[in-house]
């Protein structure tokens, strides 16, 4: 199509590219006129965000023209349209407003293009008209999907009966009545995932002007929900980027392979590192295994473990050594003297990581082995245990596990867990 279809003697995609601003401005004016006539509320009409999404539609239409008859847009190319539609759903706009806006925008583009076609280009105008309708048909499907997913998420988070079941399971209440109200048969067990979605490793240098950060957040949330939907309609999930909780029905003999598969799919779909704390249990224990999964995830993140799904077995020692109690309070105090000596703490960590080998520790730190010996001696005096003594090394490991966990909680704004939690009220 690109080689034979012309507007004013210019290949159609090139003409659209050259007149992108004109097409966008005309569409914006048409939307504004219709909004005034229909007494539409002004709140959703945010400029420059509205201009951004209109220009993005022009770009996608140009892409469709370039692909010729039968050309299709992919889910990835339409991801920002889907996310923008989700944002409008979260603003409380009716879906009919969204559909009318796309029809008005497409018509406005055609109204600019049609008069520019010369006498010899009238046959091509029919093909352009077909392309406009094909584009409108495709994007309508995309934006309705985004709108519906967000509307469903809002219902889940605010008033839907499914949220009642989700809440009952996580709070330890009897889930049977909530399940009946939601029309869901309770499964033998759930895979409970506590998820942390990492940042985009290669973010764009600068977002397009007017693109709301909420669009990116909705885009990620939609992707998570789309992956989880592959596991059936009874999956319960709540996404609050960068964290999420998912309850996936599983058979009684489900194992960690299922958890790792879910995380692998999320990682591939999102293109970001995903960490998960995974646990399994029947419906009446979901609240307990959910807390366990949260703890496992927290330890994996605090210890700097790579992306993936982690179960209690993967962090068993660190988990047990960091449980609240008088012992953890004392361990905190043991390493407190190192607060003013970050190079000594780094020496201790490197010494433990290198299997208590002074030579390798010195090489990693680029210092003389005598310097390592001096620092380890001073550490022993300050903290009250000698990390070079085999019987005292476990104390060092435990204290550092706890120190990492405390630092992670401070960074993430969570309260430190002290021994006062040992006997909850």
| CATH classification of the domain holding 267 | 3.30.70.270
Strands 243-250 and 308-310: unpaired
Model's pTM, two decimal places? 0.60
Co-location of 370 and 301 in the same domain: no
> What tens digit of pLDDT does each residue of 136-154 get?
999 888 888 888 877 776 6
- Secondary structure class of 366 (helix, strand, coil): coil
Q: Is residue 1 part of a domain?
A: no
Q: Give 83's pLDDT tier (boundaries 50, 70, 90).
A: confident
Per the listing, tokens 């993936």 go with 308
Co-location of 331 and 307 in the same domain: no
> What tens digit of pLDDT does each residue of 376-386 get?
999 999 888 88
CA distances (Å), origin 112, targets 37, 51, 109, 139, 165: 21, 17, 5, 20, 52
Co-location of 189 and 127 in the same domain: no
> What tens digit of pLDDT does each residue of 317-353 get?
888 888 887 887 888 888 888 888 889 989 998 998 8
Co-location of 140 and 16 in the same domain: yes
- Which of 317, 340, 355 terminates a domain? The answer is 317
Q: What is the mean pLDDT of residues 379-399?
A: 87
Domain encompassing residue 242: 161-317
What pLDDT shows up at residue 423? Answer: 26
Co-location of 135 and 245 in the same domain: no
What pLDDT shows up at residue 335? Answer: 84
- Which of 317, 335, 354 terminates a domain? The answer is 317
What pLDDT shows up at residue 65? Answer: 86
Kindly report each contact of residues 95-103 with a partner whose C-beta sits within 8 Å and lies 24 or more positions away, as own/partner: 95/144, 95/147, 95/148, 95/151, 97/40, 97/44, 98/143, 98/144, 98/147, 99/140, 99/143, 99/144, 100/34, 101/31, 102/57, 102/136, 102/139, 102/140, 102/143, 103/136
> What tens digit of pLDDT does each residue of 208-259 get?
666 666 677 778 888 898 899 899 888 999 888 889 999 999 988 888 899 9
CA–CA gap between residue 283 and residue 182 (Å, rounded): 15
Burial of 346 (0-12, 13-18, 19+ CB in 10 A): middle
Co-location of 92 and 15 in the same domain: yes
Q: Is residue 339 part of a domain?
A: yes
Co-location of 198 and 299 in the same domain: yes
């Amino acid at each position: 199509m690109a080689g034979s279809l012309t507007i004013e003697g210019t290949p159609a995609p090139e003409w659209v590219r050259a007149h992108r601003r004109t097409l966008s401005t005309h569409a914006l004016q048409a939307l504004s006129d219709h909004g005034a006539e229909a007494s539409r509320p002004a709140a959703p009409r945010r400029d420059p965000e509205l201009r951004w999404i209109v220009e993005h539609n022009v770009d996608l239409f140009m892409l469709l023209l370039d692909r010729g008859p039968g050309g299709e847009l992919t889910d990835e190319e339409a991801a920002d349209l889907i996310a923008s539609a989700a944002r409008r759903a979260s603003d409380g706009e009716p879906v009919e407003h969204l559909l009318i806006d796309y029809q008005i925008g497409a018509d406005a583009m055609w109204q600019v293009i049609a008069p520019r076609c010369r006498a010899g280009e009238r046959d091509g105008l029919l093909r352009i008209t077909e392309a406009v309708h094909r584009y409108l048909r495709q994007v309508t499907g995309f934006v309705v999907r985004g709108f519906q997913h967000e509307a469903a998420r809002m219902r889940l988070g605010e008033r839907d009966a499914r949220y009642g079941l989700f809440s009952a399971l996580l709070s330890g209440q009897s889930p049977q009545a909530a399940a009946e109200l939601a029309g869901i048969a309770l499964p033998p067990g759930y895979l409970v995932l506590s998820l942390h979605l990492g940042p985009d490793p290669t973010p764009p240098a600068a977002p397009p002007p007017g693109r709301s950060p909420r669009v990116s957040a909705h885009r990620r949330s939609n992707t998570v929900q789309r992956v989880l939907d592959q596991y059936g309609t009874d999956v319960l999930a709540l996404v609050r980027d960068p964290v999420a909780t998912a309850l996936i029905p599983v058979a009684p003999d489900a194992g960690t392979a299922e958890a790792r598969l879910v995380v692998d799919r999320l990682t591939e779909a999102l293109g970001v590192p995903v960490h998960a704390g995974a646990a399994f249990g029947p419906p009446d224990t979901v609240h307990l295994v959910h807390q366990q999964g949260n703890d496992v995830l927290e330890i994996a993140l605090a210890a700097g473990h790579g992306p993936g799904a982690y179960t209690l077995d993967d962090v068993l020692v660190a988990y047990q050594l960091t449980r609240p109690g008088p012992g953890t309070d004392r361990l905190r105090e043991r390493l407190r003297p190192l607060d003013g000596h970050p190079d000594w703490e780094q020496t201790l960590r490197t010494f433990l990581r290198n299997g208590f080998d002074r030579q390798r520790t010195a090489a990693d730190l680029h210092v003389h082995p005598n310097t390592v010996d001096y620092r380890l001696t001073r550490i022993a005096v300050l903290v009250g245990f000698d990390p070079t003594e085999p019987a005292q090394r476990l104390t060092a490991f435990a204290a550092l596990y706890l120190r990492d966990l405390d630092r992670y909680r401070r960074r993430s704004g969570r309260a430190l867990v002290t021994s006062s939690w040992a006997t909850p009220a």
